[in-house]
Amino acid sequence: MYSTEEKICILFGEKCATSYQFFQTLKMFEGVDDLIANLARNREAEKILESCYLPILRGLKNNEADRIIESMTRNEVVAVTYFSSSFPDRLRNIDDPPYVFFCKGNVRLLYTECLSIIGTRKTSSYGRRIAKDFTAVLSEYFTIVSGLAFGIDSIAHETTLQHGGNTIAVLGGGVLNIYPAENKGLADSIVAKNGLLISEYGLYSDPSAYRFPYRNRVVSGLSRGVLVCQAPYKSGTNSTVDLALDQGKDLFVVPGEIYDYGFVGNNRLIRTMQGSCVLSPKDILEYYGYDREEKPKETYQISIEEQVIVNALAFGPLSFDELVVTTGVSPAELNFLLANLELRSIIAKLAGNVYKLYGGLE
């Protein structure tokens, strides 16, 4: 059962009033009962609530909160409000905390140790690999928090699920209105596999552009640390990074090639020493005092022909054409060798038929 305070939170949330609007409005009244009774006469509140004012008034009059709660129950959604004892403390303490969020899935994850894994929507194969490899290990120790966007976010969620880990997706629209629509399937499997979707916006609200940077404070707020996988020069990732730094969270950054457009953001964070440079998931685990037992490396005896290719790639990535010319192997044979090496994760195929040695990470 929800208390009167909570019902007010739910109503305000359904009408998508921001945290600032909510708390400012609340301050003007003696308590929620006063608010319910006198909101209609308060000009100041009207100014603050702007376009939400009339819908909220109407909602109060029609007892809409009960209907919303009914709809939530039907859709297995619960609301966690600022006034409830179950509201996670780490969110209470951030600047501009949310006053309500709607949860679909395993609510208990809110009280687990969380780490957010974030990055651009436009990934490169290196960025994708970082997200995959780091998530695979880190999801054993943390609940992985991300934003269910394309690219790194999706990979983080999906990899976590693949490894049987826990994951929270913080949405910029309603929990019953998944954006982007292509990720509907992923959202469903997050719920099915004991993960959690949360959103501060009404159940069916549409995603608006300004809500995404705003919800990022929840992504970082929930987490102990934030891992940046791939951030180009301009990216939504940078907004999460700024918020995480404001909230005093740990920031981990994986370095990229300095000439690569896709990694300008990563390298800038390292250069300005805002984030600590990490080279493997182990670095993060060590930071938090986890001891990870090394798994024995899978060894694979490569053939002489494969060695020729590995040698050719030793000094940097080469295109298929260049490999044909430098190694003298026929295209058909080369295709076979490259496929084999790629499957053993010895090399990686980059965009534009370029091949590169995998190295560094175990």
Partner 1 sequence: MLALIKSYGLNGLDGFPVQAEIDMHTGLPSYDIVGLGDTAVKESKERVRSAMKNSGFFYPVAATVVNLAPANIRKEGSLYDLPIAIGMLIASQQISDVDIKKPVILGELSLNGEVRKVNGLLPMLITAVQNGEKTFVIPEGNADEVAFIEGATIYPVQTLRQTVDFLTGHIEISPVQIRNWESDVEFKHSDDHDFKHIKGQFAAKRAIEIAVAGGHNIIMIGPPGAGKTMLARAVPSIMPNLTFEEALEVAKIHSVTGQLEGFIYERPFRTPHHSSTMVAMTGGGNKARPGEISLAHNGVLFLDELPEYNRQTLETLRQPLEDGTITVSRNAVSVTYPADFMLIASMNPCPCGNYGSHTAECKCSASQIHRYLNKLSGPLLDRIDIHIEVASVSYDDLHEDRFAESSAVIRERVNKAREIQRTRLAAYGRRCNAQMTSSDIKKFCILDRASTLLLEDSFHKLNLTARAYTRVLKVARTIADLDGSETIGERHLAESLQYRQLDRKYRV
Q: Is position 322 an interface residue for partner 1 (rule: CB under 8 A)?
A: yes
* CA distances from residue 361 to 106, 113, 150 in whole angstroms, order as listed: 33, 25, 25
Q: Is position 163 an interface residue for partner 1 (rule: CB under 8 A)?
A: no
**Least distance to partner 1, CB of residue 154, Å:** 7
**Least distance to partner 1, CB of residue 200, Å:** 23
Q: Looking at 48-56, 66-74, 275-283, 346-354, which segment touches partner 1 (CB under 8 A)?
A: 346-354
**Least distance to partner 1, CB of residue 362, Å:** 16
Cα 258 from Cα 12, distance rounded (Å): 46
Between 352 and 360, name the residue whose CB sits nearer to partner 1. 352
- CB 228 within 8 Å of CB 265: yes
Residue bearing tokens 């905390």 = 97
Q: Residue length, the chain?
A: 362
Q: Is position 321 an interface residue for partner 1 (rule: CB under 8 A)?
A: yes
Between 143 and 183, name the residue whose CB sits nearer to partner 1. 183
Query: Pattern 205-244, binding to partner 1, x per CB under 8 A?
Result: ----------------------------------------
Q: Looking at 49-57, 75-83, 247-255, 257-265, which segment touches partner 1 (CB under 8 A)?
A: 257-265
Q: Which three-class secondary structure state does DSSP give residue 199?
A: strand
Between 192 and 339, name the residue whose CB sits nearer to partner 1. 339
**Least distance to partner 1, CB of residue 345, Å:** 7
- How do the residues of the chain divide into helix, strand and coil, expressed in percent and rounded to 5? 50, 15, 35
Between 31 and 331, name the residue whose CB sits nearer to partner 1. 331
Among 192, 353, 359, 361, binds partner 1 (CB under 8 A): 353
* CA distances from residue 245 to 82, 274, 275, 276, 338 in whole angstroms, order as listed: 23, 8, 9, 12, 42
| Alpha-helix runs per DSSP H in the chain | 4-14, 19-27, 32-38, 43-49, 53-61, 64-74, 89-92, 125-138, 152-162, 184-192, 211-222, 237-246, 264-271, 281-287, 304-313, 320-327, 331-343
The strand pair at 225-230 and 114-119 is best described as parallel
Between 20 and 261, name the residue whose CB sits nearer to partner 1. 261
Between 124 and 143, name the residue whose CB sits nearer to partner 1. 124
Q: Is position 343 an interface residue for partner 1 (rule: CB under 8 A)?
A: yes
Q: Is position 315 an interface residue for partner 1 (rule: CB under 8 A)?
A: no
Instruction: Please enumerate, as own/partner, the contacts of 80-84 that have beta carbons within 8 Å and a separation of 24 or more.
Output: 80/107, 80/110, 81/2, 81/5, 81/6, 81/9, 81/10, 82/9, 83/3, 83/5, 83/6, 83/9, 84/3, 84/6
Among 46, 242, 250, 260, binds partner 1 (CB under 8 A): 260
Q: Is position 122 an interface residue for partner 1 (rule: CB under 8 A)?
A: yes
* Residues 137-156 contacting partner 1, CB under 8 A: 149-151, 154-155
**Least distance to partner 1, CB of residue 134, Å:** 15
- CB 247 within 8 Å of CB 274: no
Q: Is position 54 an interface residue for partner 1 (rule: CB under 8 A)?
A: no
Q: Which residues contact 112 (CB under 8 A, 6 or more apart)?
A: 142, 143, 166
Binding-site size for partner 1 (CB under 8 A) equals: 38
Q: What is the number of alpha carbons within 13 Å of residue 170 lying toward its C-beta? A: 29
Between 52 and 312, name the residue whose CB sits nearer to partner 1. 312
Name the site residues for partner 1 (rule: CB under 8 A). 120-124, 128, 149-151, 154-155, 180, 182, 259-261, 319-322, 324-325, 331-332, 334-336, 338-340, 342-343, 345, 350-354
